[in-house]
């Protein structure tokens, strides 16, 4: 047949040489080498993250190019701040980011699982199994694992008064964070914040209404939930009152300044009379602005822009307390919380557009002159601010990230109140289910499915290793107990409480989070197995 024949060709000097069928094998070998180099890059990233998994996971110090230090064990933060050059490593960074965006928790676990799946696929490639068959086997295994998760999930009840189960989920999320010393208090704050803004009928949580702010000084125990809005500003004049009750707030995005000529034009003043005219014109404009604000019935002005000393003095004389330089996101939050309208021009200011709040007050901290404004008893009672305190900026920042994960975990339960059990219990159960299904499949995919089952074991193995336990012995013992007792709640006892039942330890994992980890990791691995070459545009390989 034609394809078996040798092909004769000549090089640039006219010397003949033969191209044989072996070339095709070489090309395939080159493709496998490319896949293996990708797997190596992914494994390297996953191994860095692996030690940060679980309640006893270790933190990483990340130093940015300008010398700023971040200490964290949040997978998404570590990966987003790491400088990774390899294309596949960048895909893992995007994987953790998509888990963070969609679910908000489980960013470390998803990368560990993806790394383990790629590690397993390497040994299958060595055995000569085609990458596409491996990818198909992983797909089948993932479907079985997700079905198993849904079958072992428990539905937990909660309401605005009965929050115990939500609290336990938040505590599980915070168990591995820097705030674990105060994790009961932080979990309570996360639950209260979510329930304050949640619409339980629609199973929806408006994240826009939760603001997390922080200030260095004080301990983590001083962290509090404020039912209202906190802004890092103070009154524009030191003699203005520091407290306004029954506040009617004018929210302005126009500056307290007289209109000035556009950039192309200039104003030439050649005599004293002209200067006085200009001065009087400015005074009239200032007076008109103050009058419009007073006429609307406002007793507090919040302005996105600054204003000069003259405007400040006039506001002070007219008993109009004001806050200036309030940023755009804060302005929007204040408008939502006080049910006011953002007014872009003084001419548009009317009594109906004012925001309403029971009390607006300045708060001061310690011996410093730091001041912040608190707007409480707002017209829209659902807006809340979590005010984090800590001994240094690093702890405050990490506490904010920890709270974000806890808030997301509680939000996931409100969207879908099914949970699986942590400590690797759900992963071991899914691993056993996939293993059982693989034994019944006659096709070559059974090898990939067994590899998937082994990869699922990587999560409990990492948990055991990070907790100082003997990984393989601990996993083997828990696995055999799950099979004997047919109990999918048995997991790794990370905290050394002498009890492997994760249900009794209240280690809850929202089903949404776990399911998403499996699906995203499998999708990524499938994509990587299909890449057999990297072509950089403009460069010859």
Phi and psi at residue 535, to the nearest 5°: -115, 115
What is residue 358's DSSP assignment? E
Which of 51, 72, 74, 522 is catalytic? The answer is 74
The tokens describing 257, both together, are 């300044």
Question: What is the 8-class DSSP label of residue 197?
Answer: H
- Determine whether 70 is an active site residue: no
Catalytic annotation on 364? Answer: no
d(CA 395, CA 401): 10
Q: Are the CB atoms for 169 and 181 separated by under 8 Å?
A: no
> Sheet of 508-510: strands edge to edge?
154-155, 418-421, 508-510
Q: Of residues 72, 107, 385, 489, which has the active-site annotation? A: 107
Distant-in-sequence contacts of 66-70, Cβ < 8 A, 24+ apart: 69/394, 70/394, 70/397, 70/398
Q: β-strand 300-303 against 243-252: which pairing, if any?
A: parallel
Q: Reduced to 3 states, what is the DSSP secondary structure of residue 147?
A: helix
Q: Give the DSSP letter of residue 219.
A: -
CB atoms within 10 A of CB 307: 21
Q: At what angle do helices 164-174 and 393-415 cross, to 10 degrees?
A: 140
Q: For residue 314, what is the enclosing H or E element? A: helix 309-317
Q: Active-site residue 27, yes or no?
A: no
Dist. CA 469–CA 480, nearest whole Å: 17
Dihedral over Cα of 41, 46, 51, 52: its sign: positive
Respond yes or no: is residue 253 known to be catalytic: no
Q: Distance between CA 329 and CA 336 in Å, rounded?
A: 11
First to last CA, the chain: 33
How far is the C-alpha of 120 from the C-alpha of 184, rounded, in Å?
Answer: 39
Chain mean position to CA 219: 24
- Nearest CA-CA partner of 75 in 486, 531, 482, 459: 459
Nearest to 520 by CA among 16, 90, 98: 98
How many angstroms separate the CA atoms of 336 and 206, rounded? Answer: 12
* Candidate list 72, 77, 108, 522, residue with the active-site label: 108
Region label for 13, one of left (φ > 0), alpha (ψ between -120 and 50) or beta (otherwise): alpha
What contacts 24+ positions apart, CB below 8 Å, involve 123-129? Answer: 123/451, 124/447, 124/448, 124/451, 125/32, 125/35, 125/36, 127/447, 129/444, 129/447, 129/448
H-type alpha helices, 75-163: 75-81, 87-102, 107-126, 131-152
Q: Which residues are catalytic?
A: 74, 107-108, 405
């Amino acid at each position: 047949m034609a394809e078996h024949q040798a092909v004769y060709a000549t090089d640039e000097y006219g010397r003949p040489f033969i191209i044989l069928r072996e070339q095709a094998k070489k090309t395939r070998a080159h493709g496998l080498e490319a896949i293996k180099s990708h797997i190596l890059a992914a494994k390297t990233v996953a191994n860095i993250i692996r030690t940060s998994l679980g309640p006893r996971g270790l933190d990483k110090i990340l130093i940015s190019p300008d010398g700023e230090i971040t200490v964290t064990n949040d997978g998404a933060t570590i990966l987003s701040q790491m400088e990774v050059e390899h294309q596949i490593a960048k895909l893992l960074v995007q994987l953790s980011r998509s888990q963070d965006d969609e679910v908000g928790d489980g960013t470390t676990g998803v990368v560990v699982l993806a790394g383990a799946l790629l590690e397993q696929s390497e040994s299958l490639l060595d055995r000569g199994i085609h990458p596409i068959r491996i990818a198909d086997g992983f797909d089948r295994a993932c479907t079985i694992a997700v079905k198993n998760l849904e079958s072992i999930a428990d539905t937990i009840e909660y309401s605005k008064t009965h929050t115990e189960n939500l609290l336990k989920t938040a505590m599980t999320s915070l168990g591995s964070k820097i705030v674990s010393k105060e994790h009961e208090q932080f979990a309570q704050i996360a639950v209260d914040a979510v329930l304050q803004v949640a619409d339980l009928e629609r199973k929806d949580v408006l994240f826009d209404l939760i603001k997390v702010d922080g200030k260095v000084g004080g301990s983590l125990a001083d962290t509090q939930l404020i039912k209202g809005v906190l802004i890092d500003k103070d009154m524009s004049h030191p003699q203005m009152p520091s407290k306004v009750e029954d506040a009617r707030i004018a929210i302005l995005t126009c500056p307290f300044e007289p209109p000035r000529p556009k950039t192309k034009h200039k104003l030439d003043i050649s005599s004293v009379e002209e200067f006085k005219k200009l001065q009087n014109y400015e005074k009239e404009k200032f007076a008109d602005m103050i009058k419009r604000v007073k006429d609307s019935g406002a007793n507090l002005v919040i302005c996105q822009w600054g204003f000069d000393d003259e405007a400040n003095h006039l506001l002070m004389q007219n008993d109009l307390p004001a806050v200036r330089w309030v940023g755009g996101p804060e302005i929007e939050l204040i408008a939502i919380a006080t049910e006011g309208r953002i007014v872009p021009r003084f001419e548009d200011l009317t009594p109906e557009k004012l925001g309403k709040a029971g009390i607006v007050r300045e708060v001061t901290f310690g011996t410093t002159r730091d001041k912040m404004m608190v707007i409480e008893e707002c017209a829209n009672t659902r807006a809340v601010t979590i005010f984090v305190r800590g001994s240094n900026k690093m702890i405050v920042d990490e506490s904010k990230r920890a709270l974000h994960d806890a808030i997301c975990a509680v939000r996931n339960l409100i969207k879908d109140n099914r949970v699986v059990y942590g400590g690797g219990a759900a992963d071991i159960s899914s691993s056993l289910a996939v293993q059982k299904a693989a034994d019944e499949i006659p096709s070559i995919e059974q090898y990939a499915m067994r590899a998937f089952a082994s990869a699922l074991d990587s999560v409990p193995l990492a948990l055991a290793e990070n907790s100082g336990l003997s990984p393989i012995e601990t996993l083997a013992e828990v696995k055999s107990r799950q099979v004997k007792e047919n109990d999918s709640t048995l997991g790794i006892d990370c905290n050394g409480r002498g009890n492997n039942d994760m249900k009794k330890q209240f280690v809850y994992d929202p089903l949404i989070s776990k399911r998403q980890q499996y699906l995203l990791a499998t999708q990524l691995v499938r994509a990587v197995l299909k890449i057999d070459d990297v072509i950089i545009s403009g460069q010859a390989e």
